[in-house]
Amino acid sequence: MDYKSPAIIDLPKLTDPRGNLTVVEGHQLLPFDINRVYYLYDVPAGEERGGHSHKQCYEFLIAISGSFDVTLDDGTAKRTVTLNRPYKGLLIVPGIWRTLENFSHGSVCLVIASDHYDEDDYVRNYDEFVALKAREGKQATTV
């Protein structure tokens, strides 16, 4: 798998009459060790989350419950992905701006990250993000 671009990754779904089970393991399905896990929930209607990019950190998003949209932006092109299955996740590579929106009632977004929280790894201003991508002189990542 090409880990230079965002990608939907199918997770193993172990079906059982008592309830299904899905496992996520670093370096099995993901190209990184898992160093941080957090989740978003109770997002009010009409609110957005994300609105940033990472310089080094990879993130893997899963709609554990409900659904939401993720808009991916590499500085030149955008695409929107809807996450609504707990056995499919979205790998977001460094250098991609992401915005999460259209959260359904009761939705939960699980985020698995390659790195511990580091404010210096974030690009939170969109104009700065576009300028950074232009300085790189190439779009190493594509949406």
Contacts by 86-89, CB closer than 8 A, 24 or more apart:
86/22, 86/62, 87/10, 87/11, 87/12, 87/13, 87/20, 87/22, 88/8, 88/9, 88/10, 88/11, 88/62, 89/8, 89/9, 89/11, 89/24, 89/60, 89/61, 89/62
Give catalytic status of residue 116 as yes or no: no
Of the residues 27, 52, 105, 116, which is catalytic? 52
Residues with catalytic annotation? 52
